[in-house]
Structure 1
Amino acid sequence: MLFRVIVSSQDIRRVTLDSVPESVKELCVTLRTILGLQGNFLLQFEDPDFGNELCNLTDIKDLPSDRVTLKVLFTASDSVSDLALQTTSLSAPTAASSVEWPDPFFIPDFSHDVELQLSAANDAYARNGTVMVISKSVKSEILDKLADVISKITPYPSKDQYESVAKALVAKHPCLREPVSAKEWYYWVFSLKFKMGNYRQRLMAAGCPEVIVNKRKRGQTIIKAIKKSKKGEIHYLPNPPEGQSAVTSEENRTTMLLEVQKSDPDLQLLDKLMALTFSQRRKEIIGDEPLISVVMDRWPGLFNQRQISAEFNRIVTTDLLQSFLDGLDAFVPSLLELYKAAVSSSRRLSLTSVMQCLNKEDTNQNRRTAALLGLPLFFSEDTSGIIKMCDVHGETLDALMKGMHVGLLIGHEGVLQDAFPLEIFNVAVVVEETIVLHNLRDVPTAFAMLMGTIYCLNLEYPGNMKYSFEFLQKVVMKIKPDQCSARIHGLRNKLLRYPL
């Protein structure tokens, strides 16, 4: 049976089940496992008897046959905005980084006495434009409530997010405006920043994992700590699934280790076990920052194309390969035209050999490869330690991987006379001088898997190719597209205006 499952407006999944579950509860458990959903939720379905309007699913027999569209509605004891709750899973009332930022931001109701004071002040503002003289107790109540709601989404709001809260606050309660300021809401931005700083101390004392990780002193780890969710992760450091303990998680990990060792492992069982151990794995990778050899020993099931894609989906709620290739294809024609113009004007002669490869064999796959390999050359970035071509019968892998923190090995046969091989033998993803993925069929797929590996292992983008990776994330994959650097923003605008 085929299901179209709407988790959020940005996250719509296709799920195929061999048979219809016997009950709604069993269907919820199945979807929770396959999609990696966390927290409590109910299901709605498009009812053909009512023009495909949504109805709550209470009896499995009400489902249409063959194809069904379901909508997941997350429930929580506290009132974060309905919009926020519908965007993605909310693992627990104290969970951080598990709800997408709502737009517009939802301002909650305050205590009854504060609401009465605000109502009277809003009426006075409507009559004569008089703003409210805010007492210390009222201000404290407002900031505490807002900090509580914000922390359920992220303990580390960005500048734009702080501003969206302040704007929404004065829009709902115009009596809180500051008339002497050009931005009448800006006073609240500074107050919220100070309040969130204090609130994070309370979260740390309560055991919030993400805040505890980010409070580590630099000397406590060998590798420089990576603070906060920086690349658009939605489930950066999630709480365990409801009812899951450290003991059961470790038992699931042990079962996974045994299953991986089989010559013909059960892929569906591995999918389930990887989803159940997601929280433990993220806690180890982010909290302990282990060497790649340790991660591969403890989580060998992660290191294949299927599981990297699934893990990326759990972290960002985005299909890795589809979003990468679809986004890339949208920009390939403009990028190649931009490269041609740069070569003809002698601004980027290093791109000449890349464009010459297309003259020899202009296929869709080669156009994708040229667009990707030409990107760092266009930015004048050094790829020597990140992207390496290797003759499969030539230099030893150990010598080639020496000094590679993260990157790609593109394998070919014979002497390479072009910018990239027109016939690729094998592509491998390398982390800390170790091959973690191999037998990738082409360069575009390998780039997607490299992006997925960086997210799954919580790695930093290579500094020598920071603009290329930022372009791939924010422009190609559209993850946090509104937070581009000036250079990437300018290139994106140029590409969107470029004549095809």
Structure 2
Amino acid sequence: MLLRVVLSEMDIRRLSIEITPPSVDALCQVLRANLGLRGGFILQFEDPAFKDQLTNLTDIRDLPEERATLKVLFTADAACSDSTLDSASLPSLSSGESDSQHWPEPFPIPEFSHDVELTLQEANGRYAKDGSVLVIPKGMKTDILDTLADSMSKISPYPERQHYENVAKALVEKHPCLKEPGSGKGWYGWFHSLKFKLGNYRQKLSAAGCPEVRVNKRKGEEAKGPRMKRSKKGEVHYCPDPPEGLSDEDMEEKRMMMEVEVLKKDPDHQHIDELMSATFSKRRKEIVGDQPLIGDVMARWPAMFCERQVRAEFKRVVSIDLLESFLDGLDDLAPRLLEVYEAATKSAKKPALKAILDCLKKDDTNERRRIAALLGLPHYLREEPSDIIRMCDAHGETLAAAMEGMQLGLLIGYEGDNQDAFPREVFNVAVVVEGTVVLHNFKDVPSSFAMLLGIIYCVNLEYPRAMKYSFEFLQRVVMKIKPDQASARVHGIRNKLLRYNL
């Protein structure tokens, strides 16, 4: 059976399944396992009986036999709400807002216990008559907060400020008797109560074995503060739960199958895709929790170190397409970046930046403008890129000599003499991590930059200190991942670019 699954306007997936599931619930679990859906959702399908208008799917027999189009609508507590996460992606993030994209808007307030619902119903009636608010007993408030915390944690155990505000606002809109008489917004106290409740609730989740919470380990018994291992770069699926129905032993068996498949002369890439998808939670648990050396990661997960799988893994982690998002964002910004660079060379002594711009006078193609925009970024941001971005003659110095002291970066190989800031003809670009080439044979610099950023996310690396603002710019401004959390320096250049757009 062939399915066209609409997760969002920007994320429409194709899924082939051999056997039609016996029920709608079973179909939900198939979608969870193959697409990594998290939280509650309901399904709609294009109903042939109504000229392909969307209809809620309540009986699996209503689904067309050979091929069908499904639309996934995310909720907080729908019938298929057993929160699990396998691998692939949530709805794509056209605005780079990561978790905000799959957080329901407005938040659907769940049903509370029967006695609380009866009390609220009566109090809401009084509020409608005379505007009187409810004096909330302690036990009732605890029940409300516990229920909300449970619903919120199924979406993310680490909600952001706007998520707490979203829930608090939805609560008093559904039950106006819970408004705070001394608060202008009417829900500010609930906002703070939810933050404290989620903090306590995460302790319960950690004790119960939730991977995303347990990964926050302390440095040692003598350490006072926590070592936060949770998402720092806008990851949506940072350390996900294992997929339902798959034990750790099952995933290890699939990992070994993947290892064998990669060694074949003509590997089945579709099969590798499926195995990598099924073992995503195990891989993230190892990478995030154990922080292995890159050599160990390559030995255990050899399939991940190719362009196809880096793009797939990045989409599982961040829920956007790596190469498409990077190049589209770069093309949109490159003309303004070059104008900003040009202005900077006139007002300050920036010889390295001027040398990069001079290359465009000899050959001003779109590809070289992309390269100039990328290579000029660290110089404009007053960073030193020499240990992260290196040029070398492909037939001159040895690879070991070219990579000496290189912990993370790009090695750009060219042929023949090169007297310019960057070569006209790129022979081979390699991505280097911990002195090891993890990806190579790229023929253009922009795609290589995207792959370097993808590797940083896939193996959970920190941005290199010497170019941390450049990589932050690529993340927040070029790819629009968490743009609202930019540092002052990145925020400054973004504002300049916006002014050039006027």
Q: TM-score, normalised by structure 1?
A: 0.85
In the alignment, does 2:470 pair up with 1:468? yes
The equivalences for 1:372-411 within 5 A come to 372-411=374-413
* Superposed displacement of residue 395, structure 1: 3.1
Give the match for residue 5 of structure 1: 5
Deviation at 1:134, TM superposition (A): 1.8
Helix, strand or coil at the partner of 1:425: strand
Identify the residue that residue 423 of structure 2 maps to in structure 1.
421
Provide closer, same or farther for how the CA distance between residues 349 and 132 of structure 1 changes in structure 2, counting only shifts above 3 A: farther
Q: CA RMSD in A?
A: 3.5
Q: Secondary structure at the match of 2:102?
A: coil
CA displacement 1:71-103 (0-9 Å, x = unmatched): 245799767999x99x939xxxxxxx8993223
- Give 5+ residue unaligned stretches, structure 1: 90-96
Asked if 1:62 corresponds to 2:51, the answer is: no
Equivalent residue of 1:54, what SS? Answer: strand
Corresponding position: 1:138 with 2:146 = no
Mapping of residues 62-141 of structure 1, within 5 Å: 62=64, 69-72=69-72, 88=90, 100-141=102-143
Q: Which residue of 2 aligns with 1:343?
A: 345
Q: Give how far 1:266 is off.
A: 1.6
The corresponding residue for 1:163 is 165
CA-to-partner distance for each residue in 1:105-158, whole Å, 9 max, x for gaps? 332222222223233333444444433222111111111111111211222222
- 2: CA distance, partners of 1:106 / 1:44: 18
What secondary structure does 1:414 align onto? coil
CA gap of 1:206–1:176, structure 2 versus 1, over 3 A, is same
Amino acid at match of 2:452: L
Say if 1:2 and 1:423 are closer, same or farther in 2 by CA, change over 3 A.
Answer: farther
Matching of residue 50 in structure 1 with residue 50 in structure 2: yes
C-alpha contact 2:303 2:309 (8 A) present in aligned 1: yes
Deviation, structure 1 residue 311? 1.0
Task: Quote the Cα distance in structure 2 between the aligned partners of 1:108 and 1:491.
Answer: 43
CA distance 1:384–1:29, change in 2 (3 Å):
same
Aligned to 2:233: 231
1:137–1:52 CA distance, 2 compared to 1 (3 A): same
Q: Contact 1:80 / 1:149 at 8 angstroms: preserved in 2?
A: no
Q: Report how far residue 337 of structure 1 moved.
A: 1.9
Alignment correspondent of 2:96 = none
Cα distance, 1:284 vs structure 2 = 0.9
CA contact (8 A) 1:218 1:225 kept: no
TM-superposed CA distance for 1:464, in Å, is 2.5
Change (3 A) 1:364 1:207: same
Answer whether contact 1:5 1:70 (CA < 8 A) is retained.
yes
Show the counterpart of 1:310: 312
Quick one: distance in 2 between partners of 1:472 and 1:52?
Answer: 41
Matched position secondary structure for 1:325: helix
- Letter of the structure 2 residue corresponding to residue 50 of structure 1: F
- Equivalent residue letter for 1:403: G
Secondary structure of 1:180 counterpart = coil
C-alpha contact (below 8 Å) 1:285/1:457 kept by paired residues: yes
Report how far residue 492 of structure 1 moved: 3.0
1:176–1:306 Cα change, 3 Å: same
- For 1:458, the equivalent position in structure 2 comes to 460
* Structure 2 equivalent of residue 198 of structure 1: 200
**Which is further off, 142-151 or 34-43?**
34-43
Q: Say which structure, 1 or 2, has more relative contact order (CA 8 Å, 6+ apart).
A: 2
After TM superposition, the score normalised by the length of structure 2 is 0.85
The residue correspondences of 1:427-442 to structure 2 (distance < 5 A) are 427-442=429-444
Per-residue CA deviations over 1:250-308 (Å, capped at 9, x if unaligned) read: 22111211121122212112112111211211111111111111111111111111111
Measure, in 1, the Cα distance between the counterparts of 2:500 and 2:460: 35
Alpha carbons of structure 1 residues 344 and 276: separation in structure 2 relative to 1, 3 Å? same
Residues paired across the two proteins, number: 484
Provide the rounded CA distance (Å) in 2 between the counterparts of 1:400 and 1:375: 22
What does 1:261-340 correspond to in 2, within 5 Å?
261-340=263-342
Question: Compared with structure 1, are the counterparts of its residues 368 and 24 closer, same or farther at alpha carbon in structure 2 (3 Å cutoff)?
Answer: farther
Percent identity between matched residues is 61
Q: Which residue of 1 aligns with 2:178?
A: 176
1:219 Cα offset (Å): 7.6
Preserved CA contact (<8 Å) 2:75 2:104: no
In structure 1, how many angstroms separate the alpha carbons of the residues matched to 2:139 and 2:221? 40
Distance, in Å, in 2 between the alignment partners of 1:424 and 1:466 is: 25
SS of the aligned residue for 1:352 comes to helix
Return the alpha-carbon distance in structure 1 between the equivalents of residues 431 and 208 of structure 2. 39
Change (3 A) 1:187 1:98: closer
Q: Deviations over 1:156-188 (max 9, x none)?
A: 222332233223323333333334345542222
- Separation (CA, whole Å) in 2 of partners of 1:212 and 1:292: 23
- SS at 1:62 equivalent: coil
Query: For residues 182 and 354 of structure 1, do their structure 2 counterparts lie closer, same or farther at Cα, with a shift above 3 Å needed?
Result: farther
* 1:257 aligns to 2:259 (yes or no): yes
CA distance in 2, matches of 1:125, 1:238: 42
Any conservation in 2 of the 1:38–1:242 contact (CA below 8 Å)? Answer: no
> Quick one: distance in 2 between partners of 1:60 and 1:359?
63
Q: What residue in structure 2 maps to residue 485 of structure 1?
A: 487
**2 CA distance for matches of 1:218 and 1:472?**
34
Counterpart selection for 1:494 from 472, 493, 496: 496
CA displacement, residues 181-231 of structure 1 (integer Å, 9 cap, x when unaligned): 45542222322222112111111111111211103435899xx95521222
